[in-house]
Structure 1
């Protein structure tokens, strides 16, 4: 792949362990995997707002009881925030209305997650959703293969609502390695007819315990074939877990990224990644 650029665009004080982001107009919405809030950062006036997603929210919830919000996607005026499903406390999906800035619905996905595990032949201890896309007709949910079985799986669910009857397809991927450690999905977005995804190589065989971060990739999947077009290593040090579209020109496409620093430090760096259009 041709040359890319990666730079720190700005830093936000007050958010830790960022795990997903979504940009609309000048508002950057961010979730953290140890937080009970949806954060809204106004990039123009640099103001940070907090929107509660759970009862009695805090910014540093203990690991054993945290909701583990790892995925964020949107359609029309609704944001959808997903728990990872990696423990019994992490099965929630929150619908957030962007117009009223309030929660419109809370959903318990424990039955859906159990069905996905069975359908995709993924053991509960290897189930860990870290990416979500909704295009109005189909849901694409990304299992991060950082467990022992390395099951990097995209579940395609054909339904307008996850509470309806649906058809499901599970597609498995072998993602690139760093130092012998296979990378695993950490986020994804849809741009036109392509899925752009992040994957990180982390030296661990657990969906619960963190390991040494060896680097991250950007990759692209053709929506029609569900096959990977390309992958490109973009860092040897960062654990990127959030991806959102920023800008596109005739020769360049730009994204904003955030990283999970796996600490209790309430500080988040937002990066800009520029790729040549191909």
Structure 2
């Protein structure tokens, strides 16, 4: 059993409903599921820079987009100098992927509607149970994590061979069982690759909808073997937090540290980033 410790790493004004994060040197990149901005937070001088990544003229704001219109950017996935920001696919307006180059600042948009449609067929998941919340890209393959918080509770991983996610011609779905709290199964909320392990976070939320929120019963951290996709462990880390983003911080001989962000399901533009320390 892994012992864990949670502590506050940073309090950031100007970001609401944080759902994904990535740390590069002293820059912490954060997305919110109701925002059209990529947030770049300098952890040294505590300054926030917002980068516009959503270009829809009809939107009046990019900070607190209405639930029916939001892109639902739940995923911030990194590979080399690129950030991949993906919508959850839980509605027709949530199928966008942004490819952001950290060096050149170039932004490329991709429509994942056809890809998500293929994945639903492969896994026999209907619209009400499809909800992508995490992703890992190795440079050769993609792993997309479906959050099984719909009525069918289909937690699982889409394994997609190839660099080009917009094709997804060679994909399989692996069903994964996660711990439950009070007979409510926890479901994936994010994942990150470190060495040969995919570390994931999951939350037990008392709802049968990928759209409507429910009472938070607790959150877990765990890991999955990259090759076998078998769960190595899962440990409860909170009774009240709904963590939706995880990124690697550092490792020493006896411990590994991650940063976590949470979605408090409010319109308040303030986010807390936590440091999770886990024994090895």
The secondary structure found in structure 2 opposite 1:59 is: coil
Instruction: Name the structure 2 match of 1:274.
Output: 277
CA distance in 2, matches of 1:165, 1:148: 26
Q: CA deviation at 1:276?
A: 1.0
Q: Structure 1, residues 112-136: CA drift from partner, whole Å, max 9, x if none?
A: 0000001011111110000011010
Instruction: Name the structure 1 match of 2:228.
Output: 225
Segment drifting more, 53-62 vs 142-151: 53-62
Q: CA deviation at 1:20?
A: 0.4
CA distance in 2, matches of 1:178, 1:116: 28
Instruction: Name the structure 1 match of 2:85.
Output: 81
TM-aligned CA distance change 1:178 to 1:269, over 3 Å: same
Total equivalences in the alignment: 276
Of the three residues 157, 162, 175, the one matched with 1:159 is 162
Instruction: Name the structure 1 match of 2:23.
Output: 23
| TM-score w.r.t. length of structure 1 | 0.97
Pairs within 5 Å for 1:128-167:
128-164=131-167, 166-167=169-170
Please state if 1:251 is matched with 2:254: yes
Of the three residues 88, 100, 107, the one matched with 2:104 is 100
Q: CA deviation at 1:163?
A: 3.1
Q: Structure 1, residues 241-278: CA drift from partner, whole Å, max 9, x if none?
A: 0000001001110000000000000000000000112x
Gaps of 5+ in 2: none
The secondary structure found in structure 1 opposite 2:41 is: strand
Segment drifting more, 47-56 vs 156-165: 156-165
Instruction: Name the structure 1 match of 2:65.
Output: 61
Q: CA deviation at 1:207?
A: 0.1
CA distance in 2, matches of 1:258, 1:84: 17
Q: CA deviation at 1:226?
A: 0.9
